[in-house]
Structure 1
Amino acid sequence: MATTNLTLEGFLTRFLLQAPPTQMQPLPTRRAAVLVPVVERAQPGLLLTRRTTHLRKHAGQVAFPGGMMDPDDVSLTATALREAMEEVAIPPDSVRVIGTLPPVTSSTGFQVTPVVGIIPPDIARRASEDEVDAIFEMPLQEALRLARYHPLDIHRHGLPHRVWLSWYQHYFVWGMTAGIIRQLSLQIAEDVA
């Protein structure tokens, strides 16, 4: 991003003014959602988790709170909010949902919708011992710096696929999480037409 000092107001203005790109590929029918929690501060933060190492899928990976849509969820936004409550104790009524990013396909065959929401800075966060090893906050301005993401081209199911990689402190941010953050950066970039 070209800005030198990203404020929450600047982030909201850019996010709300840019139309997301259209999805061109068919998406899986299994659906999931993640909450992309932006912490409301003068210099906003991005809340992330690191999954526990004993999980069967995505063990030890940096992620947003989220998961598979339950039959009782009335929407994918409800899924993201429920999962954020279960994983890091963010009360659904404390999240100001501002929109979504285009769905992405996970390596496990889910259509994942990133739900972007603003959360207060004073929420008492508590990691679910079953799912979350750590909760951390990355400055939003740093998270949205495109130069921090490096591409790795791989083949998945015989098709080329680009994966994004980055480090923040001692956290390795990659795959779908890095791709979502990078997409958010593109969404609010000042030079996007």
Structure 2
Amino acid sequence: MVNSLPHVQLPSAPSALAEFICRFQLQMPPAVKKAQGVRQAAVLIPIICHEQPTLLLTRRSDKLRKHAGQVAFPGGAADTSDTSLIFTALREANEEVGIPPEQVQVIGTLNTIDSSTGYQVTPVVGLVSPQVPLFPCEDEVADVFELPLYEAFNLSRYHALDIHRAGLQHRVYLSWYQQQFVWGMTAAIIRQMAEQVSI
């Protein structure tokens, strides 16, 4: 079970947040094909601890060389000095949106997933208090928004699209929330977590 930390006020009565934490920690991730990427990366999935919890997502700057304008979780490639992939996810979240690592209560990780750029990405799930201020890095982040968990975990929101690339077939998922278009690896990660907690 999660140890309560001063910076994350977990509700004592049953709530959507408490139910999510319980289901996430009690369910094993579904078995999937092992990721093949040779380079390591990690993203933080920040769960904002409102009474009705939300996912914190970013829209990447249009000026970036890769994945410009796409909706993403904060994250990136592991540095040689990183002590773990959890450290990588927390470091990147601090750099991109200003969340201090000590203000994140990590509750687990999801199965690794391959990115289109050859990385093996580890999603790290962490709880963040709504009182933690955000300081998005203007060079990397164009927008920050929150997606309610009850919306994110509605599996009917995700539409599969099979594409062919380099002689192989790949399935990508597409979804929308208000004016935000969520697709690719970000949608796949959210859908993976939704499947895990709905078992």
Aligned residues: 186
**SS of equivalent residue, structure 2 residue 162:** strand
Counterpart for residue 62 of structure 2: 53
Counterpart for residue 172 of structure 1: 181
Q: Distance in 2 between matches of 1:163 and 1:109?
A: 16
Counterpart for residue 134 of structure 2: 125
Retained in 2: the 8 A contact 1:65–1:87? Answer: yes
Q: Distance in 2 between matches of 1:25 and 1:99?
A: 18
**% same residue:** 59
**SS of equivalent residue, structure 2 residue 189:** helix
Q: Distance in 1 between matches of 2:100 and 2:18?
A: 23
Change (3 A) 1:90 1:182: same
Q: Distance in 1 between matches of 2:100 and 2:170?
A: 36
* Runs (5+) with no aligned partner, structure 1: none
Per-residue deviation, residues 139-193 of structure 1 (Å, max 9, x unmatched): 111111101110000012211111000111111000000000000000100xx2x
RMSD of aligned alpha carbons: 1.3
Q: Which amino acid aligns with 1:178?
A: A
Q: Distance in 2 between matches of 1:171 and 1:51?
A: 12
Q: Distance in 2 between matches of 1:181 and 1:23?
A: 15
Q: Which amino acid aligns with 2:64?
A: L
Q: Distance in 1 between matches of 2:34 and 2:94?
A: 31
2:27 to 18, 21, 33: 18
Retained in 1: the 8 A contact 2:35–2:114? Answer: no
Deviation at 1:27, TM superposition (A): 1.6
Retained in 2: the 8 A contact 1:37–1:116? Answer: yes
Per-residue deviation, residues 24-79 of structure 1 (Å, max 9, x unmatched): 34522200000000001110010000000011100000000000000110000000
* Runs (5+) with no aligned partner, structure 2: 1-13
Retained in 2: the 8 A contact 1:6–1:141? Answer: no
Q: Greater shift after overlay, 15-24 or 100-109?
A: 15-24
Counterpart for residue 182 of structure 1: 191
Q: Distance in 2 between matches of 1:8 and 1:26?
A: 30
Q: Distance in 2 between matches of 1:26 and 1:94?
A: 29
